[in-house]
Amino acid sequence: MKWIIALVVIIILGAIIGPMASGNAGYVLVQFAGVAIETTVVGLFVVTVVAVAVLAVVWSLLRRLLSKTRQGRKWLANRSERKAQTMYQQGIRELLNDEPNKAAESFAKAYKKAPDNNLAALTAAAACLDKDAGKATYWQEEAGSFYENSDTLLQLVVIEQQVKVNPAEADRKIQSLLKTKPHTANVLKLAYRVFSASGNWQQLKDLLPELRQVTDLAPAEFERLEYQVYFERFVAEGRKSNEMLYNEWRSLPSKQRADATVRLSYAAALKHLGDHEISARVILKGLKRGDLEPAAVNSLHLFNAKSEKLLEFVQAQLKQNPESRDYLYALAQIAMDNQDFSLAQRALKKLAEIEPSSHVYRLLGDAYHALGDSQLAANAYKEALAH
């Protein structure tokens, strides 16, 4: 009805403006089959609008008449269904072509032609893929009670939008989702992002076994994630008290305490909190048992001089294998930490002969500088730049 009113208004405006513009209205001449029609541009426009309005009214009356008959209703329904099917197929193509926004529009048009709960649910899914939580919520409600609990995708979209602006609220919602929904790959990956943002390392630690199964991270990347989770968890407990940190460590099964990543994260947390001596003992125990490799300990700079037994162990390893690169570097770390620059210099010089590198020469330069030999320090720094 609104469009009919709009057309009438346009006709009235044309009738008023037409005469006013008749002084320079312009003319149109139409000749067809010997018949000539001459009129103004405004007049032609008014006639066209009237013709369209008449056709629309006629079509509306025909639809009403057809809807009164059984065959008419069937024809109109089939026509709407055909249009809906066309829009539905177009939406599927757009969805497969990674255009969820267009797909949602096509599905919505199809739903308008032929309302169906399944189509509403599909529109909600397309809106979720387009990250439009408002539209997805509307279509989820349109889908009806049959799809009432099938809203995981919608919840993921809502939580994902909250991660940056309100990590605490996103944390609460993802915990609820984990309790009520299956732990699919998408749920677990979003949980990882949310718990990392909110600093909920305990929850993330509990999810690590499942994340290992579904994550697409390479083994080395997953180890870094595991290290970060345990490190942050240990640090959080250690800030409460030394006893809380120790209890957290002892609460782990012995198999986990023997795991290299977990043990390294515990030692790193102890060092971060200033307890270097216990950190060194944890490292020493891991090395003796074979749970740790010296290269991994070196990479985290966890060799320190606070444990005499750790130094003795490193020296014993070098007696067995004087050219061990890992233990030479470990000895250099311990010596530098103990400000025994002469010992550090000897270890680094030998290491430079076995495996020269920019890092080794830079440390060697630091050792020479600490010993007051500026010329040898300068030479070592030049070598560092050359590698």
- What pLDDT, on the 0 to 100 scale, is given for residue 218? 82
Euclidean distance between CA atoms 169 and 228, whole angstroms: 23
* Domain boundaries of the chain, sorted by first residue: 1-68, 87-149, 151-203
Q: If you average pLDDT over residues 160-167, what whole number do you get?
A: 92
Euclidean distance between CA atoms 222 and 196, whole angstroms: 14
Q: How confident is the model at residue 276 (pLDDT cuts 50, 70, 90)?
A: very high
Averaged pLDDT score across all residues of the chain: 85
pLDDT tens sequence across 14-60: 655 555 555 555 556 666 666 666 666 666 666 677 777 767 766 66
pLDDT tens sequence across 184-201: 888 998 999 999 899 899
> For the chain, what percent of residues have pLDDT higher than 70?
81
Euclidean distance between CA atoms 34 and 151, whole angstroms: 68
CA 112 to chain centre: 34
CATH class label, 87-149: mainly alpha
The residue among 15 and 308 whose pLDDT is bigger is 308
328-359: string of b/e by CB count within 10 Å (b at 16+)? bbbbbbbbbbeebbebbbbbbbbbbeeeeeee
3-state secondary structure of 239: helix
Of 149, 122, 148, nearest in space to 136 by CA: 122
Phi-psi region of 290 (alpha: psi -120 to 50; beta: other; left: phi over 0): left
Written as six digits, the tokens of 350 are 């030998």
Give the relative orientation of helices 117-129 and 70-96 as an angle to the nearest 10 degrees.
20
The residue among 160 and 3 whose pLDDT is bigger is 160
Q: Which residues contact 364 (CB under 8 A, 6 or more apart)?
A: 345, 348, 349, 352, 380, 383
- What pLDDT, on the 0 to 100 scale, is given for residue 75? 46
Whether the Cβ atoms of residue 100 and residue 136 lie closer than 8 Å to each other: no
The residue among 8 and 93 whose pLDDT is bigger is 93
Euclidean distance between CA atoms 155 and 140, whole angstroms: 11
Whether the Cβ atoms of residue 351 and residue 329 lie closer than 8 Å to each other: yes
pTM: 0.66
